[in-house]
Structure 1
Amino acid sequence: MPLLYVTDLAYPARGRRYGDEDTFLTSRLREHFPLALCHPLDAASLMGGFDAVVVRNSGPVLHYQEAYDAFRTAALATGTRVYNPLVGRGDMAGKQYLLDLTAAGFPVIPTVDDPADLHLLPEVPVYAVKPKQGADSIGLTFTADPGGPAGEVLIQPRIDFAYEVSFYYVDDAFQYALYAPDPARRWDLVPYAATDEDLAFASRFIAWNTLAHGIQRVDACRAPSGELLLVELEDLNPYLSLDLLPEPTRDAFVTSLVASLKSFLASDPPTRWPRPHGALRTAVTGASRPDGKLEG
């Protein structure tokens, strides 16, 4: 079954090499599937000739929002198989999940979207403020007096965390973890030996997202108190840092991905995507556009 693999090989991602990662990954996937690559701007017009579309290192959709909206609308309308499926509740659907998880008491960096709700956050000297529809830290500011239009910004306490750590999953199975020992160098990653407690933390968000198939990355920070707090749940096109992995770990990831794709392709294609519940509904039905923070 032929796959259309969506990637921007030339996107200048800071600290990441999109082209190298997708060149490697497609070279391995070609051993199992007929495969063609395309730029995200061409995905909507080309996808009809393929059994599924695999969205990988396609860059922040803010840079091609109209084309992404057209692709998403067409895929939802026709029931085209898209991997990851377009029903994700993490970054794929916007940043509402950070607010929902905060309200539900999940271990996430506390988040509000209205300066009038600042009293709901821990009192700190400095807050992080960023637009809801942002990407790659565009518009991120640090201030002692957060402002901005209600519903259009995200406000979080600035946390002096010890390090950031990412947990990588295929479907609901943990694959590997990497962390950045220096908080100022986000993409200088090294292997991380995840504990049972770490995996219980990360798996909680994978279970919450309820994606039957797909690649997800749970980004967290180690707070001064020692607990992990969710930073982001990347569920559209998370960068995988495969070049930093030992070969056996990289091979095991590819094996898991191939098995996931074969299972995904063997499943019945939806006549239409299922209608989501709660906060996700508007993002998937098209009443609002998904957040642009989709770079991975």
Structure 2
Amino acid sequence: MRPSILFVTDLAYPAQGRRYGDEDVYLTSRLREDFDLALCHPREAAALMGRFDAVVVRNSGPVLAYREAYEAFRAVAPAGGVRVSCRTADGALLLVELEDLNPYLSLDLVGAPVREQFVAALTGSLRRFLAAG
């Protein structure tokens, strides 16, 4: 049985100069090669996450419009023992936006080799995360 991932995103989020939905459709199509994967809207994350081996919150900007749902997600995840995408040394949830590390990363604007490297790195990271479980 393959590991399962809940991929949380708002495909309709109106980002300036970016097409989050297109990026996430591409990224999840690639992750499906290695994982059983379902996409869900931030409003449904807390209710669905217990059914998956891991949760990826992508493009957390869309989550900001659903603050109440996001807070429920943050409360339910550790209480339910759901393993969640970063934690601090003391176990608290930590969100790191890719844009914080590289403000120019946009999967639809980089070349194919960079996209492939990103997908391979993310897939490897998720595999290690799940194996450490």
Same fold per superposition (TM over 0.5) = yes
* CA offset digits 1:181-209 (Å, max 9, x no partner): xxxxxxxxxxxxxxxxxxxxxxxxxxxxx
| 1:252 partner amino acid | Q
Provide structure 1 residue ranges, at least 5 long, that are not aligned to the other structure. 93-210, 221-238, 269-296
| Distance of 2:50 and 2:61 partners within structure 1 | 22
Instruction: Give how far 1:215 is off.
Output: 5.3
Match of 1:75 in 2: 77
Match of 1:242 in 2: 107
Match of 1:13 in 2: 15
Comparing both structures, which one devotes a greater share of its residues to helix?
2
2:43 and 2:66 in contact (8 A); partners too: yes
| Distance of 1:32 and 1:219 partners within structure 2 | 26
Could you tell me which of 93, 118, 125 is aligned with 1:87?
93
Could you tell me which of 121, 126, 129 is aligned with 1:261?
126
| 2:93 partner amino acid | V
Match of 2:31 in 1: 29
The 5-angstrom pairing of residues 1-296 of structure 1 reads 1-85=3-87, 87-88=93-94, 92=95, 217-218=100-101, 240-268=105-133
| Distance of 2:99 and 2:126 partners within structure 1 | 14
Rg (Cα) greater in structure = 1
1:21 and 1:242 in contact (8 A); partners too: yes
| 1:87 partner amino acid | L
TM-score (structure 1 length as normaliser): 0.40
| 1:69 partner amino acid | E
Instruction: Give how far 1:57 is off.
Output: 2.2
| Distance of 1:265 and 1:216 partners within structure 2 | 24
| Distance of 1:62 and 1:216 partners within structure 2 | 15
Comparing both structures, which one devotes a greater share of its residues to strand?
1
Provide structure 2 residue ranges, at least 5 long, that are not aligned to the other structure. none
| Distance of 2:26 and 2:63 partners within structure 1 | 23
* CA offset digits 1:97-155 (Å, max 9, x no partner): xxxxxxxxxxxxxxxxxxxxxxxxxxxxxxxxxxxxxxxxxxxxxxxxxxxxxxxxxxx
Distance 1:216 1:257, change over 3 A: farther
Instruction: Give how far 1:48 is off.
Output: 1.1
SS in 1 for 2:55: strand
| Distance of 2:76 and 2:121 partners within structure 1 | 29
Instruction: Give how far 1:240 is off.
Output: 3.7
Aligned residues: 127
Deviant stretches of 4+, over 4 Å: none
SS in 2 for 1:24: helix
Instruction: Give how far 1:81 is off.
Output: 1.1
| Distance of 1:216 and 1:260 partners within structure 2 | 18
* CA offset digits 1:52-73 (Å, max 9, x no partner): 1110024344421111111100
TM-score (structure 2 length as normaliser): 0.85
